[in-house]
Amino acid sequence: MKFTKLAGDPASKARCGLLETSHGAIQTPIFMPVGTVGSVKGVYHRDLKEDIRAQIILGNTYHLYLRPGLDILKAAGGLHRFESWDRPILTDSGGFQVFSLTQIRKITPEGCRFQSHIDGSRHLFTPENNVDTQRVIGADIMMALDECCPGDADHSYAQKSLRLTKNWLERYAARFDATEPLYGYEQTFFPIIQGCVYPDLRIEAAEHALEYARIGIAIGGLAVGEPTEKMYQMLELLDPVIPQDKARYLMGVGTPANLLEGIARGVDMFDCVMPTRNARNGMLFTWDGIINMRNAKWADDFSPIDPKGTSFVDSAYSKAYLHHLFKSGEMFAAMLASEHNLAFYLDLVTQAREHILAGDFTPWKEEVVRKVSSRL
């Protein structure tokens, strides 16, 4: 497994590269659809491959650990076989989900104690057993266990949280190096840079995380309540600190504009539930702007969903038809909208890559950000 930077944009920090894994190579910049419990909601794997052109998808350690559980995943031969997906998979550590539980979790130096949201049963994630769990899941890329610091935390809390994350990373790396993959192919892990919105803590976190980084590193704790400009400032701060030969993954981000602005600041990899979650509520992202398909204005609009889109859905169905499906409560509406939004996100990063290679990413980005942020 390795990451290679192939080209950079002369007017920004944008770059494109190749991330090679045992389940295939990933062209960056890339967006990774979220498959929380072993599926991307409402989307066939066939369509993920052929229409959406997903190169890698995510799984969620917290949810998969609770259900179907490690015994089933191990008996199946890992998540790839369990869900019949033969391309790369990345798993988060579950730390963000535990962080989100708030009322039913307790964080200590040992690890995270939490209650299942399913049945109230009690569990413990430590750096050591988190490695073991992700070995059983079998993702190509694993995330180190960390504490996700709230975006509005004060410096004292963020500093204390970072000390915990650093200690956990050291233990996580030691366990990773002392264990082997279970299914005959290579795995790697990304350390996570925390530090909230404080420059001194972000630099400290990055320098420490880089001691344990293999082929890539993740940037966490952003898009969790802090202003968007603060997120961009942290990316600009970290760009010169992270070596060019390390893949950079911005966790849980975001809107189409966020992706393009992140790419301009040196980010290679993104994930977010937004394209599918918003799709299920009737919000579509298009090259001309954002559409609310429930609005009556689309009831007699027989134009394609996105005339500039590249997916089958864009050309096969009209706005009027999709509006009708949403108003009728048809599950097909959420399926079509999800496929469209994911295809748009993948097309967005693919075109970004092409413009980086062509050397005109920055002027293209400025125009596209303006369009995709508008509401139709």
Encoded tokens for 104 = 């039913």
- Three-state DSSP class for residue 95: helix
CB atoms within 10 A of CB 329: 8
Which residue is listed with tokens 């701060």? 237
Q: Helix 256-264 crosses helix 361-372 at what angle (to 10 degrees)?
A: 160
Q: Which residues of 228-237 are buried (b: 16+ CB within 10 A; e: fewer)?
A: eeebbbbbeb
Which residue among the candidates 9, 51, 146, 271 is catalytic per the annotation? Answer: 271
Q: What is the rounded CA–CA span in Å between residue 369 and residue 371?
A: 6
Q: What is the rounded CA–CA span in Å between residue 297 and residue 295?
A: 5
152 belongs to the catalytic site = no
Sign of CA dihedral 26, 211, 107, 163: negative
Which residue among the candidates 92, 140, 146, 347 is catalytic per the annotation? Answer: 92
**What are the φ and ψ backbone dihedral angles of 2, each rounded to 5 degrees?**
-160, 160
Which residue is listed with tokens 């970004």? 352
92 belongs to the catalytic site = yes
Active site residues: 92, 271
